[in-house]
Amino acid sequence: MKSPMRKSIVYGIGMWILLGLICPSLAPAAEPSLSLQELLDKIQQRYQSLQAYTAYFKQTTTSSAGSLTTEASGKLYYQKPRQMRWDYETPEIQTFVASDQMAWLYVPAEKQISLFDAKNLISSPLSRTFFDGVFELKKDFRVQLDPKQSNQTSALLVLTPKVEDPSIQTLRLQVDLRTFQLMSLETQDVLGNTNRITLESQREKPELDAALFRLVVPPETVVLDADGRELNAADIQKLKNQTR
């Protein structure tokens, strides 16, 4: 059975599959000099040129009532095309790895690896946008610039989906106007629950070690498929071959 923290991790990853950002700091409000379309074009160019990076991330999930807040942090690795790894360090050591073929969550304390349907994780327009590194938000969202929360160094974009989506009522993106990277991303669902991810110490790389995205099954570790069924040794070997 998946814990609430684990559900939060998988939900957050599914919604924010690729981020390249540093922690935000808001300055006194001032209108950014770029138009909305110019800003979107600059962001698009930035993410198209990005091949790989590492960063430290912080994730905060808050319930609509405000009575339950979960926080997590760790290190993120991203490599084009469509490979990512989240090493959670707090509050529990976990590793989530995903590509366009498969995804899994490893929990050392439980000696268990849980598989997920990678296609479902990247099925939403937002997930596809960040996972592919193609920043075409106006295709699926109504995009507005919030002048009160924007200034000469950062801009806040407020997005609402063109097609109703219970998982995203609003999406807020803070953009660094010097680098055109995302500084933070926060979503709110129809129930009022919020999920926020920021990253620190981003390092752009030409390429990452392919071993980061390979399935490794430690001794005495159980592997469960997306339906919760335990896999045998032959099935596990087939999965390993897919990530070589």
pLDDT one-digit tens code per residue, 173-188? 988 898 888 788 898 9
Q: Which of 163, 229, 197, 217 is nearest to 8 (CA)?
A: 197
Q: How confident is the model at residue 18 (pLDDT cuts 50, 70, 90)?
A: very low
Q: Report residue 45 as tokens.
A: 């160019």
Lowest mean pLDDT segment, chosen from 36-45, 108-117, 121-130, 233-242: 121-130
Q: Report residue 102 as tokens.
A: 């498969």
What is the residue-averaged pLDDT of the chain? 82
CA atoms in the 13 A half-sphere facing the CB of 85: 20
- Report whether 63 contacts 69 (CB < 8 A): yes
Calpha distance 60→128 (Å, rounded):
22
The pLDDT assigned to 23 comes to 31
- Report whether 99 contacts 229 (CB < 8 A): no
Count of structural domains within the chain: 1
Calpha distance 93→36 (Å, rounded):
40
Angstrom CA distances, 83 to 66, 118, 127, 187, 212, stand at 34, 11, 13, 23, 9
- Domain region containing 195: 4-242
Which CATH number goes with the domain that contains 218? 2.50.20.10
The pLDDT assigned to 14 comes to 53
The pLDDT assigned to 110 comes to 96
State pLDDT tens for residues 102-152: 899 999 999 999 999 887 776 666 666 556 555 567 778 899 999 898 888
Calpha distance 73→201 (Å, rounded):
13
Residue whose pair of structure tokens reads 């899994």 in the numeric block? 104
Distance in Å from the first CA to the final CA of the chain: 29
